[in-house]
Amino acid sequence: MDGLFYTDAGQEIGEELGEGMELDRYAGVEDDTEDEIEEIEEDHDLRVLAHILAQYHTQLTAISTASLEVFQEFICSTERAKPIPYHTSILSGEGWVSELLNGHPERIWTELAVHKHVFKHLLDELWKHDRTDSKHVTLQEQLAIFLYTCVTGLSIRHVGERFQRSNSTISKCVPQYYFVYC
């Protein structure tokens, strides 16, 4: 026996177990009995088994680590990112309309192309035609959104930025008043 052993996969082991552990070196010793030789062989077999188990443990650890990394990447890729608020201005659309109504009389005319008394008259007419506040937007702000869009010709996105409202909210406010005034 030369001290080298092979696993099922054909890997050569033996150098790590300690070169020279061959059983031949005990051949010249007179006190050796069969029991001692069996102990030596058993010790050698235990070392080989321990080495094989260590290799399997290393491979299993590597596979486990790789599996965990793949799983974590999968989880991260499937999680939705938390939304970041887009409209974060301190001055809301309702606040801006309030500023226009309570500020300099020419300011509302510059922004909405109507004077304060005309804006209030239009608001009263809308109330008479059973128009009401929506869940999140007052009728006053809805009218201002419509007038601002007509005066500026800006896109829904730009009007939404002015009033701090979503594109869908702006798109609901603008068309409904065309029919009232046309």
Single-letter amino acid, residue 164: Q
- Whether the model clears a pTM of 0.95, i.e. scores above it, the answer is no
Q: Where are the beta strands (DSSP E) in 61-133?
A: none
- CA 115/CA 126 separation, integer angstroms: 17
- CA 11/CA 105 separation, integer angstroms: 92
- CA 126/CA 28 separation, integer angstroms: 116
Which CA distances in Å does 91 have to 17, 69, 87, 163, 165?
77, 46, 10, 8, 11
Q: Sorting pLDDT into bands at 50, 70 and 90, what band is 1?
A: very low
Tens digits of residue pLDDT in 128-174: 988 899 888 999 999 999 999 989 999 999 999 999 999 999 988 87
Contact between residue 115 and residue 152 where contact means Cβ atoms under 8 Å apart: no
Residue 141 burial (CB < 10 Å; 0-12/13-18/19+)? buried
Q: What is the average pLDDT value for the chain, to the nearest integer?
A: 80
| Biggest CA-to-CA distance, the chain | 124
In this structure, is the dihedral angle defined by the CA atoms of residues 115, 117, 123 and 128, taken in order, positive or negative? Answer: negative
Specify the DSSP class assigned to residue 13: E
